[in-house]
Amino acid sequence: MTAWLSAGILFTFATIAFILYRWGNVRCVGVTPVKTFTFIAILFTSGLDVGLIMFPLTEFAGYGDLATSPEYGFTNPLAIEFGFWAFLIWSFYFLTCFYFCVIEPRVRFFELPLVKLINNIVIIGTCAFTAYLLLSNLPWYLPELGDGESIIGSFYLIVLLVIAVAVYSSTNIRYVRILSLATTWLFIALIALMWGGAFMGENSGLGEFANTFALLGGYFGNIHEFVLPMNDYHEFYLYWWFAWSIMIGQFTARFVGGLRTYQVLVAMMVFPSIPIAIWFSVLYYYNLNGLETAGFYNLAMAVVGITFVINSLDSLIRLYTDNLNVGVARIGKIKYFLGNLAALSLLTLLFKLDFLQIQWVGAVVIGLFFTCFGYILLTKFKEVASIESSPKENKIDFTKIEHIT
């Protein structure tokens, strides 16, 4: 599967380069345009999940163990973690966001019955994987509820409640927007809380933070190392990002509020990477200096991680139910709630039992990329070649949208 993944990555970056060359100055306008800050908040909270909160503290040691994984020796663990989560790989989301905003309305590839079915299976499966990640990480962050290793009944109940809240939130797009902004501010508050705990003491300060933050230069100085998979674990991450890419692009494309194409790329790669960089730097300082996070800090991280899961799930539930035309208006709120709750709970258990793997989902997404490209070349080449703007029906009063230039 490594060759398939590498082909998908190279195709993705080549396509991004062509888009910037051909449509770099086109204004991207979605069907429900919002202000730039709201767009970034929706992108950030929908495009990430609980792994951002819960993975780093469990992974730094592995990246520093060069005896076991010598391939990480070209830089430090903080740079590795950042490279697996930020900057370059957010361009995957740019590609799909631009496609669904500007190209798909002319091509309608994802309206083909078989493609629509496959795409929605991908979305549902990835939603369930997000819930599974929460389930599998709760023992580490909430050891008070168990032995710190085993998944007990309380954790299953927490995940069930999270899925239920997310399904209910997805019933109204207003909830999605509010939750996206609230999750963003909650994450910023968590960063501030743990930053204060690390750098406001007698033996630390801004200088210590600056020295830790500077380690991120190991990523930018070796960015080429992160393009293709360096080992199986990096491959897992890259497939995971591909699994998310189509559905996040499809969801966020509707909210683009007039940014030019190159600005969308910059916004997607830079703005989410800033809080990620600060967050990982804070966590890495805790790791390097053996600072304890058990108790209140772990609970705070678990709470924010849960809000990320709810925010991701409600966006994606709304997306696949809209695609399948099984929204609240058509089937009623009770059937909508119970059906989605049952489906996602069952699939979460299948990931727990290893019947499903996220790498398979990512591989299917790469196949959709290649198939879509072939479909355009064979049937829609003239329509795509003539594109000079976002769809005309997506109108916007640019004087009312802030910060678009």
Tell me, what's the pLDDT at 397?
55
- Integer Cα distance of 5 and 92 in angstroms: 13
Tell me, what's the pLDDT at 402?
43
**CB-based contacts of 367: which residues, under 8 Å, 6+ apart?**
none
| Overall domain count for the chain | 1
pLDDT in tens, 267-315: 999 988 998 999 999 999 999 988 888 788 888 888 888 888 888 788 7
Tell me, what's the pLDDT at 59?
92
Range of the domain at 64: 34-396
Instruction: Give the residue among 316, 378, 381 at the shortest CA–CA distance from 103.
Output: 381
C-alpha distances in Å from residue 81, one per residue of 312, 364, 396 = 21, 25, 39
Q: Is the pTM of this model over 0.85?
A: yes
Instruction: Give the residue among 190, 299, 321, 305 at the shortest CA–CA distance from 247.
Output: 321
For residues 41 and 182, is the Cβ–Cβ distance under 8 A?
A: no
The verdict on residue 385 lying in a domain is: yes
The verdict on residue 304 lying in a domain is: yes
The verdict on residue 22 lying in a domain is: no
Could you tell me the CATH number of the domain that includes residue 364? Answer: 1.20.1740
Q: Say which residue the tokens 């997306």 belong to.
A: 319
Radius of gyration of the chain (CA): 21
The verdict on residue 7 lying in a domain is: no
In the chain, the amino acid numbered 138 is L
User: What do you get for the CA distance between the two ends of the chain, in Å?
Assistant: 41
In the predicted model, residues of the chain with pLDDT beneath 50 are: 398-405
Orientation angle between helical segments 232-252 and 36-47, nearest 10 degrees: 140
Tell me, what's the pLDDT at 401?
47
Tell me, what's the pLDDT at 321?
87
Q: Say which residue the tokens 């989902």 belong to.
A: 361
Tell me, what's the pLDDT at 395?
63
The verdict on residue 130 lying in a domain is: yes
The verdict on residue 29 lying in a domain is: no
The verdict on residue 203 lying in a domain is: yes
- Integer Cα distance of 52 and 288 in angstroms: 19
Tell me, what's the pLDDT at 278?
93
The verdict on residue 8 lying in a domain is: no
